[in-house]
Amino acid sequence: MTTSITPLIAGNWKMNGLMASLSEVQKLAEMLTRGTAPRCTVAICPPATLLARISEMAASSGIVTGGQDCHPAQSGAHTGDISATMLADAGAQFVIVGHSERRAGHGESDDLVRTKAQAAFAAGLTPIICVGETEAERRDGQAEAVVGRQVATSVPEEAQAIDVVIAYEPVWAIGTGLTPTTDDIRQVHDMIRAQLIERFGDSGQTIRLLYGGSMKPANARDILMVENVNGGLVGGASLLANDFYAIISAV
Protein backbone atom coordinates (compact mmCIF):
# COMPACT_ATOMS: atom_id res chain seq x y z
CA MET A 1 0.00 0.00 0.00
CA THR A 2 1.33 3.46 -0.90
CA THR A 3 1.84 5.04 2.52
CA SER A 4 1.62 8.68 1.38
CA ILE A 5 -2.02 8.23 0.35
CA THR A 6 -4.76 8.09 2.99
CA PRO A 7 -6.42 4.71 2.43
CA LEU A 8 -10.17 4.41 1.84
CA ILE A 9 -12.22 1.43 2.99
CA ALA A 10 -15.67 1.76 1.44
CA GLY A 11 -18.57 -0.60 2.01
CA ASN A 12 -20.96 -1.16 -0.89
CA TRP A 13 -24.19 -2.51 0.56
CA LYS A 14 -25.74 -2.96 -2.90
CA MET A 15 -29.49 -3.77 -2.71
CA ASN A 16 -29.27 -4.79 0.93
CA GLY A 17 -30.25 -3.04 4.11
CA LEU A 18 -33.45 -2.13 5.94
CA MET A 19 -34.05 0.05 8.99
CA ALA A 20 -33.03 -2.91 11.15
CA SER A 21 -29.56 -2.72 9.56
CA LEU A 22 -28.92 0.57 11.34
CA SER A 23 -27.95 -1.44 14.42
CA GLU A 24 -24.88 -2.71 12.55
CA VAL A 25 -23.89 0.87 11.69
CA GLN A 26 -24.28 1.88 15.33
CA LYS A 27 -22.18 -1.09 16.39
CA LEU A 28 -19.45 -0.19 13.89
CA ALA A 29 -19.50 3.44 15.04
CA GLU A 30 -18.99 2.33 18.63
CA MET A 31 -16.12 0.05 17.65
CA LEU A 32 -14.41 2.86 15.74
CA THR A 33 -14.71 5.37 18.60
CA ARG A 34 -13.76 3.00 21.43
CA GLY A 35 -10.21 2.24 20.35
CA THR A 36 -7.45 3.78 18.29
CA ALA A 37 -8.72 5.96 15.48
CA PRO A 38 -8.64 4.11 12.13
CA ARG A 39 -5.73 4.92 9.81
CA CYS A 40 -8.06 5.28 6.86
CA THR A 41 -11.24 6.93 5.67
CA VAL A 42 -14.24 4.71 6.36
CA ALA A 43 -17.27 5.02 4.07
CA ILE A 44 -20.58 3.20 3.80
CA CYS A 45 -22.57 3.29 0.57
CA PRO A 46 -26.03 2.08 1.58
CA PRO A 47 -29.23 1.97 -0.46
CA ALA A 48 -30.67 5.44 -1.03
CA THR A 49 -33.48 4.73 1.46
CA LEU A 50 -30.95 4.70 4.32
CA LEU A 51 -28.45 7.28 3.11
CA ALA A 52 -29.66 10.36 5.01
CA ARG A 53 -30.22 8.39 8.21
CA ILE A 54 -26.76 6.79 8.18
CA SER A 55 -25.10 10.08 7.22
CA GLU A 56 -26.60 11.66 10.32
CA MET A 57 -26.11 8.87 12.84
CA ALA A 58 -22.55 7.93 11.82
CA ALA A 59 -21.03 11.40 11.45
CA SER A 60 -19.78 11.63 15.04
CA SER A 61 -17.74 8.43 14.59
CA GLY A 62 -15.99 9.69 11.46
CA ILE A 63 -17.86 7.35 9.10
CA VAL A 64 -18.77 9.06 5.83
CA THR A 65 -21.32 7.93 3.29
CA GLY A 66 -21.78 7.55 -0.43
CA GLY A 67 -24.38 6.68 -3.02
CA GLN A 68 -24.28 3.60 -5.22
CA ASP A 69 -25.04 5.35 -8.50
CA CYS A 70 -26.18 8.71 -9.87
CA HIS A 71 -27.81 10.10 -13.00
CA PRO A 72 -25.69 12.34 -15.27
CA ALA A 73 -28.26 15.15 -14.89
CA GLN A 74 -28.68 17.10 -11.66
CA SER A 75 -32.50 17.17 -11.94
CA GLY A 76 -35.28 16.60 -14.42
CA ALA A 77 -37.86 14.15 -15.72
CA HIS A 78 -36.01 10.94 -14.89
CA THR A 79 -38.45 8.81 -12.93
CA GLY A 80 -36.78 6.42 -10.52
CA ASP A 81 -33.30 7.94 -10.87
CA ILE A 82 -31.31 9.86 -8.28
CA SER A 83 -28.95 12.74 -8.97
CA ALA A 84 -25.55 13.45 -7.48
CA THR A 85 -27.00 16.67 -6.05
CA MET A 86 -29.65 14.66 -4.21
CA LEU A 87 -26.99 12.34 -2.79
CA ALA A 88 -24.99 15.31 -1.56
CA ASP A 89 -28.13 16.79 -0.04
CA ALA A 90 -28.63 13.53 1.87
CA GLY A 91 -25.12 13.80 3.33
CA ALA A 92 -23.06 11.73 0.89
CA GLN A 93 -19.42 12.50 0.16
CA PHE A 94 -18.82 9.70 -2.37
CA VAL A 95 -20.74 7.97 -5.14
CA ILE A 96 -19.95 4.68 -6.87
CA VAL A 97 -20.19 4.85 -10.66
CA GLY A 98 -19.60 2.18 -13.29
CA HIS A 99 -19.88 -0.85 -11.03
CA SER A 100 -19.80 -4.02 -13.11
CA GLU A 101 -23.34 -4.84 -11.98
CA ARG A 102 -24.47 -1.53 -13.52
CA ARG A 103 -22.37 -2.03 -16.64
CA ALA A 104 -23.73 -5.54 -17.19
CA GLY A 105 -27.27 -5.25 -15.87
CA HIS A 106 -28.03 -1.76 -17.19
CA GLY A 107 -25.79 -1.64 -20.24
CA GLU A 108 -23.71 1.27 -18.97
CA SER A 109 -20.86 2.29 -21.27
CA ASP A 110 -17.54 3.89 -20.40
CA ASP A 111 -18.85 7.17 -21.83
CA LEU A 112 -21.90 7.10 -19.57
CA VAL A 113 -19.75 6.29 -16.55
CA ARG A 114 -17.56 9.29 -17.36
CA THR A 115 -20.56 11.64 -17.51
CA LYS A 116 -21.77 10.30 -14.17
CA ALA A 117 -18.35 10.99 -12.66
CA GLN A 118 -18.54 14.53 -14.03
CA ALA A 119 -21.98 14.93 -12.46
CA ALA A 120 -20.45 13.83 -9.16
CA PHE A 121 -17.75 16.48 -9.48
CA ALA A 122 -20.36 19.14 -10.16
CA ALA A 123 -22.23 18.16 -6.99
CA GLY A 124 -19.10 18.19 -4.84
CA LEU A 125 -18.91 14.41 -4.53
CA THR A 126 -15.93 12.13 -5.03
CA PRO A 127 -16.72 9.45 -7.62
CA ILE A 128 -15.50 5.90 -7.07
CA ILE A 129 -15.08 4.74 -10.67
CA CYS A 130 -15.19 0.96 -11.01
CA VAL A 131 -13.27 -1.01 -13.63
CA GLY A 132 -12.62 -4.72 -14.12
CA GLU A 133 -12.49 -7.63 -16.52
CA THR A 134 -14.73 -10.67 -16.87
CA GLU A 135 -13.51 -14.22 -16.37
CA ALA A 136 -13.47 -14.80 -20.15
CA GLU A 137 -11.43 -11.64 -20.74
CA ARG A 138 -8.87 -12.69 -18.13
CA ARG A 139 -8.72 -16.20 -19.54
CA ASP A 140 -8.02 -14.74 -22.97
CA GLY A 141 -5.18 -12.60 -21.61
CA GLN A 142 -7.15 -9.38 -22.11
CA ALA A 143 -7.42 -8.23 -18.48
CA GLU A 144 -4.97 -5.33 -18.71
CA ALA A 145 -6.24 -4.21 -22.12
CA VAL A 146 -9.87 -4.17 -20.92
CA VAL A 147 -9.10 -2.39 -17.66
CA GLY A 148 -6.77 0.06 -19.41
CA ARG A 149 -9.51 0.98 -21.88
CA GLN A 150 -12.05 1.45 -19.10
CA VAL A 151 -9.69 3.73 -17.18
CA ALA A 152 -8.86 5.76 -20.29
CA THR A 153 -12.50 6.31 -21.22
CA SER A 154 -14.34 6.29 -17.87
CA VAL A 155 -12.02 8.63 -15.96
CA PRO A 156 -12.66 12.27 -16.96
CA GLU A 157 -9.98 14.89 -17.51
CA GLU A 158 -11.15 16.67 -14.36
CA ALA A 159 -9.54 13.89 -12.33
CA GLN A 160 -6.18 15.64 -12.56
CA ALA A 161 -7.50 18.51 -10.43
CA ILE A 162 -10.44 17.05 -8.47
CA ASP A 163 -10.44 14.10 -6.10
CA VAL A 164 -11.37 10.81 -7.74
CA VAL A 165 -11.08 7.16 -6.69
CA ILE A 166 -10.66 4.16 -8.99
CA ALA A 167 -11.74 0.71 -7.84
CA TYR A 168 -10.39 -2.36 -9.63
CA GLU A 169 -12.96 -5.12 -9.28
CA PRO A 170 -12.40 -8.20 -11.43
CA VAL A 171 -15.96 -9.15 -12.36
CA TRP A 172 -15.35 -12.85 -11.80
CA ALA A 173 -14.32 -12.21 -8.17
CA ILE A 174 -17.35 -10.16 -7.09
CA GLY A 175 -19.48 -12.11 -4.66
CA THR A 176 -17.98 -15.44 -5.71
CA GLY A 177 -15.47 -15.92 -2.92
CA LEU A 178 -12.73 -16.09 -5.57
CA THR A 179 -9.87 -13.59 -5.54
CA PRO A 180 -6.94 -13.06 -7.87
CA THR A 181 -3.48 -13.65 -6.46
CA THR A 182 -1.66 -10.71 -4.93
CA ASP A 183 0.66 -10.80 -7.95
CA ASP A 184 -2.34 -10.48 -10.26
CA ILE A 185 -3.66 -7.54 -8.23
CA ARG A 186 -0.24 -5.88 -8.19
CA GLN A 187 0.12 -6.22 -11.95
CA VAL A 188 -3.20 -4.52 -12.69
CA HIS A 189 -2.83 -1.81 -10.06
CA ASP A 190 0.70 -1.01 -11.27
CA MET A 191 -0.64 -0.75 -14.81
CA ILE A 192 -3.43 1.61 -13.73
CA ARG A 193 -0.98 3.76 -11.76
CA ALA A 194 1.41 4.01 -14.70
CA GLN A 195 -1.44 4.95 -17.03
CA LEU A 196 -2.64 7.67 -14.63
CA ILE A 197 0.85 9.13 -14.26
CA GLU A 198 1.34 9.15 -18.02
CA ARG A 199 -1.98 10.95 -18.46
CA PHE A 200 -2.07 13.29 -15.47
CA GLY A 201 1.56 13.64 -14.38
CA ASP A 202 2.13 14.11 -10.66
CA SER A 203 -1.62 14.12 -10.01
CA GLY A 204 -1.76 10.52 -11.17
CA GLN A 205 0.49 9.48 -8.30
CA THR A 206 -2.06 10.47 -5.64
CA ILE A 207 -5.30 9.03 -7.04
CA ARG A 208 -6.50 6.32 -4.69
CA LEU A 209 -6.71 2.84 -6.23
CA LEU A 210 -8.99 0.43 -4.38
CA TYR A 211 -9.24 -3.31 -4.78
CA GLY A 212 -12.69 -4.90 -4.70
CA GLY A 213 -13.93 -8.41 -5.30
CA SER A 214 -14.48 -10.74 -2.34
CA MET A 215 -12.30 -8.75 0.06
CA LYS A 216 -12.89 -10.16 3.52
CA PRO A 217 -11.17 -10.29 6.93
CA ALA A 218 -9.17 -13.38 5.97
CA ASN A 219 -7.47 -11.81 2.92
CA ALA A 220 -7.66 -8.06 3.57
CA ARG A 221 -4.22 -7.68 5.15
CA ASP A 222 -2.39 -9.45 2.32
CA ILE A 223 -4.24 -7.44 -0.34
CA LEU A 224 -3.74 -4.11 1.43
CA MET A 225 0.01 -4.76 1.64
CA VAL A 226 0.27 -4.74 -2.16
CA GLU A 227 1.92 -1.64 -3.62
CA ASN A 228 -0.57 0.75 -5.25
CA VAL A 229 -3.51 -0.72 -3.35
CA ASN A 230 -4.85 2.24 -1.39
CA GLY A 231 -7.85 0.59 0.21
CA GLY A 232 -10.80 -1.57 -0.65
CA LEU A 233 -14.33 -1.50 -2.01
CA VAL A 234 -16.00 -4.11 0.15
CA GLY A 235 -19.26 -5.88 -0.65
CA GLY A 236 -20.91 -8.46 1.58
CA ALA A 237 -18.36 -8.17 4.39
CA SER A 238 -19.37 -4.52 4.93
CA LEU A 239 -22.89 -5.49 6.01
CA LEU A 240 -21.69 -6.87 9.35
CA ALA A 241 -19.91 -4.57 11.77
CA ASN A 242 -17.48 -7.21 13.02
CA ASP A 243 -16.34 -8.21 9.53
CA PHE A 244 -16.08 -4.64 8.27
CA TYR A 245 -14.17 -3.54 11.36
CA ALA A 246 -11.71 -6.39 10.85
CA ILE A 247 -10.99 -5.15 7.31
CA ILE A 248 -10.64 -1.56 8.53
CA SER A 249 -8.24 -2.78 11.21
CA ALA A 250 -6.13 -4.54 8.58
CA VAL A 251 -5.02 -1.12 7.30
Q: Is residue 176 part of a domain?
A: yes
Q: Is residue 74 part of a domain?
A: no
Q: Is residue 135 part of a domain?
A: yes
Please tell me the pTM assigned to this model: 0.96
Low-confidence ranges of the chain (pLDDT < 70): 1-3
Biggest alpha carbon distance in the chain?
48
Phi (first) and psi of residue 5, to 5 degrees: -105, 130
d(CA 248, CA 238): 10
CATH of residue 187: 3.20.20.70
Read off the pLDDT of residues 90-131 as tens digits, 9 standing for 90 and up.
Answer: 999 999 999 999 999 999 999 999 999 999 999 999 999 999
Number of structural domains, the chain?
1
Q: Is residue 93 part of a domain?
A: yes
| Cβ–Cβ < 8 Å for 192, 186 | no
Determine the pLDDT at residue 176: 85
Determine the pLDDT at residue 2: 56
Residue 140 lies in domain: 8-15+22-69+81-250
Q: Is residue 94 part of a domain?
A: yes
Determine the pLDDT at residue 65: 98
Determine the pLDDT at residue 178: 82
Catalytically annotated residues: 99, 169
Determine the pLDDT at residue 177: 82
Determine the pLDDT at residue 1: 58
Q: Is residue 1 part of a domain?
A: no
Q: Is residue 31 part of a domain?
A: yes
Determine the pLDDT at residue 175: 81
Q: Is residue 76 part of a domain?
A: no
d(CA 129, CA 72): 14
Strands 41-45 and 231-234: unpaired
